[in-house]
Amino acid sequence: MDVNMMKNTLKVVLLTSMLPFAASAAQELTPWYVGGGLGVNNYEPSCDQKTMKVCGEDDPYAWDVFGGYLFNEYVGIELGYRDLGRAEWTDYSNKRNDVGARGMSLGFVGFYPLADKWSLSAEAGAFNYLISNKKEYNTEYYSDSGIAPYLGAGIGYNFTDNLKLQAKYRRYENLDEEKWNTLSMESNYWGLELSYRFGTSAPAPVVAAPVVVAPVVVPLGDDDKDGVTNNIDKCPDTPSTHKVDATGCSVYENVTTKYDLGGILFANDSAEIRAGSFADLEKLADHLTKYPQHTVSVQGHASNVGKAEYNMKLSERRAVAVASALNKKYGISISRISSVGYGVTKPVMQGSSAEANRVNRRIEAIVTGTEKRVVLR
């Protein structure tokens, strides 16, 4: 009977250990694991109840195999087969008792991770045992079966994510042979267990190194050769002789210039503009029309004939006459025209000769303006 029970139990444990393989090939860690253990067991017979005279060799070797399923990283369930070994005692009738217990176990296990790869464990369950007593070298045989509760604790170390070694202690209660009432005992087990969890750890995500792509330099071109590339050149047709700014446009500067448009001559002792002088006057008007920002200073002069005071006034009348003609005949704003007389103080030819007097009776128009002029390279 006990042999059949052992065979059936081993079949169950082996079938349980094969379940993970049937589920799938190892991918990530599965909740399934299998293992086996080896240790020593100490039976505690009821010596204090005077059933045994000598509790002697009572530390036999014990072993077990098991399979388990983890509900999570902290709680699981185990099914196993355990052989607690056999011990020899002498009862008060001086008969030798050869006692042993084995059977299936089913229980819950709990795990508490510690630092690094260490963990604590606790377990509680039921042991469906078959206990036998072979008296006097098997001349008398007594056996019985039952269910005994057990508690256990342990500490484990993970060599890898799959392989774990644990030091275990278990306490079995009420391992009794009640059929013939020859035994009443408990048991203490110490041992080492090695277990294997199926699957592989999920690989750590591989963070690809950033790919540094060298920038591709595309020639941008400079069609007008001004030193500013086409993509930012706002003035693409700038002459190569011009100095340009950051946007490729010509740089200008304000230049103040003065234009002497020639002399307008008068008859002796006259402020009337000669008909032949209107060509020069028209040239002056055209210039002022073209450059509306320019102004003109009309300067009257006289020859060195007569009194200086008279010549001063005469030169002023000549200047006023020209200024008036620019305004009324050619439409130049009076605000852009000024007139002044210098008399004989600024002759172009010294002396009182006929030629000196002719060229000194004149009007000079000095045009002043700020002109925007391109800066050359």
| Residue-level pLDDT at 34 | 97
Amino acid at position 152, single letter: G
Tens-digit pLDDT profile for residues 76-108: 999 999 999 888 877 777 788 788 899 999 999
Is residue 258 over pLDDT 80? no
Task: Pick one of 3.30.1330.60, 3.30.470.10, 3.40.1620.10, 1.20.59.10 as the CATH number of 252-374.
Answer: 3.30.1330.60
Q: Could you give the CA distance from residue 189 to residue 59 in angstroms, rounded to a whole number? A: 9
Q: Where in the chain is the domain with CATH 2.40.160.20?
A: 2-197
For 16-28, what is the mean pLDDT?
A: 48
Is residue 218 over pLDDT 70? no
| Residue-level pLDDT at 366 | 85
| Residue-level pLDDT at 2 | 47
User: Packing angle between helix 278-290 and helix 308-328, nearest 10 degrees?
Assistant: 60
Whether the Cβ atoms of residue 121 and residue 114 lie closer than 8 Å to each other: no
For 11-38, what is the mean pLDDT?
A: 65
Pure H helices in the chain: 2-23, 278-290, 308-328, 354-360
Q: Could you give the CA distance from residue 107 to residue 105 in angstroms, rounded to a whole number? A: 7
Is residue 264 over pLDDT 50? yes
Range of lowest pLDDT (10-24, 123-137, 313-327): 10-24
Amino acid at position 302, single letter: A
Q: Where in the chain is the domain with CATH 3.30.1330.60?
A: 252-374
Cα 251 to Cα 86, 222, 369, 377, distances in angstroms: 111, 18, 19, 10
State the chain's mean pLDDT as an integer.
82
Give the chain's end-to-end CA distance (angstroms, integer). 117
| Residue-level pLDDT at 36 | 96
More confident residue, 197 or 182: 197
Is residue 358 over pLDDT 90? no
Strand 252-265 to 362-374 pairing = antiparallel
Question: 294 — phi, psi (to 5°)?
Answer: -85, 155
Assign 3-state DSSP to the chain and report helix, strand, coil percentages, each to 5: 20, 45, 35
| Residue-level pLDDT at 284 | 86
Fold of 2-197: Porin (2.40.160)
Q: Could you give the CA distance from residue 123 to residue 66 in angstroms, rounded to a whole number? A: 14
Is residue 174 over pLDDT 70? yes
For 217-225, what is the mean pLDDT?
A: 75
Helix, strand, or coil (residue 195):
strand
Name the DSSP class of 46: -
